[in-house]
Each structure stands twice: as C-alpha cells, then as structure tokens.
Amino acid sequence: MVTHADPIASKDNRRVVATSGAAGSRLRRVPVHVVVLGITAIWSIPLLGLVVSSFRPSWAVLSSGWWESVTLPGDYTLANYGRVLGRDGMALSLFNSLAIVVPATLLTVVVGAAAAYGLASMRFRFRGGVLLLIVALIIVPVQITFVPLLRAFNALDLTGSFLGLWIVHLGYAVPFAVYLLHNFFAAIPRELFEAAEIDGASRSQTFFAVVLPVARPALASLAIFEFVWTWNDLLIALIFLGGFREVAPMTIAVSQLVASRGNGWEILTSAAVLSVIVPMIVFLALQRHFVRGLLAGVAKG
Amino acid sequence: MIGDRIVLMTLAAGVILAVAYGYLRVGDRVLAGLPHAWHRRLAPWLFVGPATATVVLLLAVPAAFTVGWSFFDADGEQFKGLANYAHLISDGVTRIALRNTVLWVVLLPSFAVLVGLTVAVLAERVRYGALVKITLFLPIAISAVAAGVIWSFMYGYQPPGAAQTGTLNAVVTLIPSVGPIAWIIDEATNNYALIGATLWTQAGFAMVIFGAALRSLPDELLEAARLDGTSEWQAFRHITLPFLRPTIVVVATTMTVIALKAFDIVYVMTNGNYGTDVLSTVMYRALFTAKDNGLAGAVATLLMITVIPIMIFNVRQFRRNSREA
C-alpha cells in the first residue's frame, strides 16, 4: 500500500548523511548541483516563457525574446487574454470542456465504483475473467476502436454530441477506473461489508452507506485523474466531435488557433495558459489525491 | 450558449447520480424478489454488469471489428487479404512513421527513466530538492496541446541575423559561429524535438513513481553500506538500482505505451510534416483524409500488436499479486 502520497516529501535522515563531510566532499558534490539545477532550469523556463509572453504586447513579442522583458521597461498587458476570449467560441470552448469533462468523470467514477465493489466483495462465475479482461484492456490503444465506433456513432447520430463523447470517454476510462478502485476495495476488510449485510442492509444499501464513504479518498483520486486526463484529451475529441466548432473543447480550439497561421505568439501563449488554468487548479489543490491515484494505478501494475 | 453548457453539465451530473442510485436500489429490490439461487447468481452482475457491458461494447467488440476490417478494402466490402499491411510496409510515409514510432519507443522510456530516477535520487541530496520536484511535477497537468504551444515557442526559429525570439535559438546563437537551428523543420532534429517536448510533460510521472519506490527502500541497507565505507555511487549501483528494477520496468512500460499512442503533440507541432509522422497521425489521415477504413484498421491493428506483450505482462503481474494477497 502506498502511504506517502506527497511528491515533495523527502527522507530527512538521508540528507544529513549526504551533507555532512569536509570541504573536499562538498567539491565533489558540484556535479550533483549542476545536474539538479540544470534539470530545474530546463523544466521551469518553458513555463516561465509561456506565462511572461502571454502578458506581452504583440510588437514586443515580435521584436525581442520574452526574457528581455525583464530588463526592458515592462509594459505588460491583459489585452491578449481579452482578444483570445473575444474570439468566436474561445470562451465557449472553456465551458464545452467543462460540459464534456464533468459528466464523463462522474459517469466513470459511478460505473467504476459499482463494478469494483462487485468484483471485490462478491464471488461469482466469470469474476476472474472479467478482472483479467479489465486489466488487459487498461493499456489498449484507443485507436483500435475508432473505425467501428465512428460508424456506429454515425448511424446513431451520436458524433458531434456531448452524449457521444461522454460514452466513449467512459468506455476508455472504465478499465483503469475499475482496476484502481478494485485495488482499494480489495484492501478493505470483508467484515465491513458483511457486518452491514448481517444488519439487514441490502447490497445497494451497503454500497451507498458503507462502501462509498470509506472509499472517498480512492474516488477522489480517480475523479481527479479522470478530470485532468479528459480535459487534456485532443485525439478522442477530434475523432468523435468532428469539426463542429460549437462543441469543441479547449484542446481543439487551441490546436485550431495554432493551425490557422497568422496568430502571434502572444495570442497562442495566452490561449494555452487559459487551457491550462482549470486542470492546473484542480491538480495543485488536490495533488495528494492525484499522486495516490497515479501510484495505485501504475505502480501496482 | 455558455449558459446552456452550465445547465447541461449540472443536469447531466444530476441525472447520472439519480439514475445510478435508482438503478442499484430498484435493481436490488427486484432481484430480492427472485428465488434465492437466482438472486445469488444475478446480484453481482447488477454491480459489475454496466462496466462489463461498457468494456465489451466500446473496447473489445470494436477492437475485433477493426482487426477484421483491416483485411478489407476502404469501404469494408471487398476482402483484400494482407494488402493493407503490404501497403503499410511498402508505403514511404508509413515507413517513416514506423521508423519514428520506434524512435519514440526507444527514446521516451529511456529518458523518462533517466530523468525521473535522477531527480528522485538527487533531490534528496540538495537543500532545494522540493523546488526541482515541483518544476518536474507541474507539467503533468499540462495537455499535450498546450505543451505543443509551449515548445513550438521554445523552438522558435528566425533566419540568421534576425533577433532570435525562440529561447533555444537565442541560447544556441550565443556560441560564436553557430547559426540558429530550425528545430521542428530540420529533419535532423525535429523528431528529437517532439520527443523532448513529450518528455517534458511525462518526466514528472516517472519521478513521482520512483520517489514513492525510494521511500520504501529500507534505510538500514544503505546505512550498512555506508558504514562499510562504500561510496555513494556504489551504494546506488549495488543497492538502490537492483531494488528499483521492478519500478523501472513499470515506468518504462507506461512510457512505452504513451510513446506508441503519441498523437496530440505531433498533431499540434508539425501535423506530421517534415518527416515527423507517427503511427497515430498516419491512422488519423487514413481515417479522415483518405477515408480508408481498411488501411486505418491495419495501422490500429499494428499498434495493438505492439502492446500485446505489455498486456500479457500486466495480466501475469496482476495474477501473481492477487495470489499473494
């Protein structure tokens, strides 16, 4: 079981060992600092450039690098954001993303939780088979389903609709959802389920009143994981929403901005920042849950 | 329109919760009315049924159809045997895509393991360890689309002599007699540039997983080694690294799958131009530009075949774990 979900936590005792020592060993540690600082720079500079550029006026972006704005008298502006949001459909896309992601995530959590409970607490025929099918399908390339699903969705008039996208996202996410929650439920003592049933509670009562409250951390992990993952998806939205601009999520809107040349970097960077804000807030506010989900879903595989 | 979206989202959320609750409560009651043996047999499927049906209808059955159609022509009417596959191997564009996908599958897992492991180990040894962890951690939440914008900007190219506003070329041109590089157009660099941008979003994953594994490494092992006068490097080489081997496998396989499925970042940064196609972009064009379902199916089947070893590995691992539990 994973107990430490904090990615920033460290082992203090090891640090003591590592930092004690004479000046000679300090010199030998120079390469360590070079490597760590180098990686920090490579990973932080792109983000810094993105944010800084998104606040620079277009003439400045054209004529000088973003880092020069620190020394040049900074006339930063919010105008880029105004222009991006004023563009047809950009603000709408932000809400399209929400309208896609929130129901899809909820659907995944609900369907996944019910199945994980059934698989973890009941013994029945084909139980092993269902579990193996689900584990095998976690990493299936979603591309393998596109052609038949697209045909079926065209016939059912589901392409270009939010309902269609919720359904495919559910399908693609269920294996991971069941797997993650099953690992969690399997670790709950079975007595907990049985005690409730002895008290006369039906299975569904046990599920809602006992299991779901206990599983809240695991449900949160899954929900955050799915939220960020679905929000960031481009390919599935491209395939199943087609070219319908009025339902396009942020990822499609931003990629269309990139494709239609003639947009300055100040526009592209502020659009990118806008597309990143929501998942970033969710991610940072609930990162412990996210990391726990990541570890439970991947590390046990 | 925005109002509509908010209403839709709220309504959908409410309906999903209400239907789920109603379905399970009513279903439970209906099953309770059945003879005992039937109740026992059907009750699990009340819970497991929806997920199983979803997985079968949306993944397993379509996968089978795709594999089947990959032996047919564009409209799925005429049997063509292996012609689609023969086309894949002989066609110049798909050949390049295959080569690039191999490049992705080799480089992305290697570098993700290298960077993730390096940061997880070294961050414990410097006082600003939390800082480097956070900078690697943040891009996890960033979409490949946004990462594509960020890195297209980083790789920005202006002709020699003009002010280089792309960060990388501004650095490169500081070196005397070195001109700016057209990172994402030049075929000598562009595939590495795309893989590098993906690495930037994925290395944090690797770091988090390695960090958790390192925390479960018993301290006594390293302490004992240090008392014996073993150097830090040797302790890492002979204790930490063997301990992390299963974690390295997990990270590498996860990254391999990500590399195989790579699409978004290529679509945004080059759209597969300048020799940067990967299998997914080829499939996308087969599907929407050429409208050839057979060919698209063959590409997808190829992708599928490459992940089957990892699938088998995962299933085996799962069975071993559940036997231990």
**pLDDT tens-digit profile of B116-132?**
999 999 998 889 989 99
- CB contacts under 8 A, B 68-87 vs A, are 69
A 199-228 residues inside an 8 A Cβ radius of B: 202-205, 207-208, 228
B115: closest chain A residue by CA: A39
CB contact under 8 A, B141 and A53: no
By the CB < 8 Å criterion, does A16 face chain B? no
Instruction: Name residues of chain B where pLDDT drops below 70.
Output: 325
A140 in contact with chain B, both atoms CB, cutoff 8 A: yes
Q: Which of B212, B119, B213, B252 is nearest to A7 (CA)?
A: B212
Check CB contact of B305 with chain A, cutoff 8 Å.
no
pLDDT of residue A298: 64
Q: Do B143 and A231 touch (CB under 8 A)?
A: yes
**CB atoms B146 and A44 under 8 Å:** no
| Contact present, A244 and A160 (Cβ < 8 Å) | yes
Burial B93-107 (b: 16+ CB within 10 A, else e): ebebbbebbebbbeb
A294 touches chain B (CB under 8 A): yes
Q: Which of A91, A207, A251 sits opposite B2 (nearest CB)?
A: A91
Which B positions 225-264 lie with beta carbon below 8 A of chain A?
A: 226, 232, 247, 250, 253-254, 257, 260-261, 263-264
Predicted local distance difference test score (pLDDT) of residue A19: 44
Phi, psi of B72 (to 5 degrees): -115, 175
Most confident of A16-20, A58-62, A167-171: A167-171
Backbone phi, then psi, for A159, in 5-degree steps? -70, 145
Q: How far apart are CA B107 and CA B122, in angstroms?
A: 22
Mutate to test the interface with A, among B29, B73, B75, B125 (most CBs of A within 10 A): B125
**Smallest Cβ distance to B129: which of A10, A99, A265?**
A10
| Distance from C-alpha of B285 to C-alpha of B25, rounded to nearest angstrom | 46
Q: Which residues of B touch A138 (CB under 8 A)?
A: 314
Mutation target for B interface from A144, A228, A267: give the one with most B CBs within 10 A: A144
A118–B50 CB contact, under 8 Å: no
Distance separating alpha carbons of residues B320 and B312, to the nearest angstrom: 12
Residue A164 near residue B81 (C-beta atoms within 8 A): no
Q: How many CB atoms lie within 10 A of CB A88?
A: 10
The sign of the torsion formed by the CA atoms of B271, B95, B285, A99 equals negative
pLDDT tens per residue across span B88-119: 888 888 899 999 999 999 999 999 999 999 99
Whole-number Å distance between alpha carbons of B301 and B85:
10
Residue A166 with chain B: CB contacts under 8 Å: 12
Distance (Å) from the C-alpha of residue B183 to the closest C-alpha of chain A?
A: 15
**Residue A99: which of B9, B137, B146 has the nearest Cβ?**
B9
**What is the predicted ipTM?**
0.91
Measured between beta carbons, the chain B residues lying within 8 angstroms of A301 are 250, 253-254, 314, 317-318
Which among B69, B122, B145 is the nearest to A275, CB-wise? B145
Q: Which parts of chain A are beta strand (E)? A: none
**CB pair distance less than 8 Å for B165 and A298:** no
Residues of B within 8 A of A167 (CB-CB) are 58
Q: Is the pLDDT of residue A15 over 80?
A: no
Judge whether residue A12 has pLDDT over 80. Answer: no
Q: What are the start and end residues of each CATH 1.10.3720.10 domain in chain A?
A: 85-299
Contact B115 A39 (CB under 8 A): yes
Reported as a single tens digit per residue, the pLDDT across A219-249 is 998 999 899 999 999 999 999 997 788 999 9
A9 pLDDT higher than 70: no
Residue A3 has what pLDDT? 43
**B58: Cβ–Cβ under 8 A, 6 or more apart, which residues?**
A145, A149, A167, A168, A170, A171, A172, A174
Centre a 10 Å sphere on the Cβ of residue B116 and count the other Cβ atoms it contains: 26
Query: Over 60: is that where the pLDDT of A18 sits?
Result: no
A232 in reach of chain B (CB within 8 A): yes
Reading the block at residue A278, the tokens are 């929501």
Half-sphere exposure of B243 (CA within 13 A, CB side): 20
Interface test with chain A among B84, B165, B167, B278, by most A beta carbons within 10 Å: B165
Q: Are B238 and A210 in contact (CB under 8 A)?
A: no
For residue range B18-38, list pLDDT tens digits in order: 999 999 999 999 998 999 888
- For chain B, the domains span 2-69, 89-324
Q: With an 8 Å Cβ cutoff, are A11 and B130 in contact?
A: no
| A100 touches A166 (CB < 8 A) | yes
Instruction: Say what the pLDDT of residue A28 is.
Output: 74
The predicted pLDDT at position A5 comes to 57
Determine whether the interchain pair B319/A132 forms a contact, defined as Cβ–Cβ distance below 8 Å: yes
DSSP state of B240: I
Q: State yes or no: pLDDT of A130 exceeds 80.
A: yes
- B268/chain A closest Cα distance in angstroms: 6
Is the minimum CB–CB distance between A49 and chain B shorter than 8 Å?
yes
Please state the three-class secondary structure of B106-158 as a single string.
HHHHHHHHHHHHHHHHHHHHCCCHHHHHHHHHHHHHCCHHHHHHHHHHHCCCC
Contacts of A235 in chain B (CB under 8 A): 263-264, 267, 280, 284
pLDDT of amino acid B145: 95
Q: In this predicted structure, what is the pLDDT of residue A195?
A: 79
Count chain A–chain B contacts defined by CB atoms under 8 A.
Answer: 397
**Rg of chain A in Å (alpha carbons):** 24
Are B263 and A234 within 8 A, CB to CB?
yes
A285 touches chain B (CB under 8 A): no
Better pLDDT: A200 or A131: A131
Shortest distance between the Cα of A79 and any Cα of chain B, in A, equals: 19
Q: Average pLDDT over chain A, rounded to whole?
A: 86
Closest-approach residue (CA) in chain B for A106: B13
pTM: 0.90
Decide: A236 and A142 in contact? Cβ < 8 Å. Answer: yes
pLDDT for A188 equals 83
What CATH number is given for A85-299 in this structure? 1.10.3720.10
Specify the CATH architecture of the domain B89-324: Orthogonal Bundle (1.10)
| % of chain A exceeding 70 in pLDDT | 88
Q: Enumerate the residues of chain A whose CB falls inside 8 A of the CB of residue B253.
A: 301
B79 SS3 class:
strand
Angle subtended at Cα A241 by Cα A240 and Cα A242, rounded to the nearest 5 degrees? 95
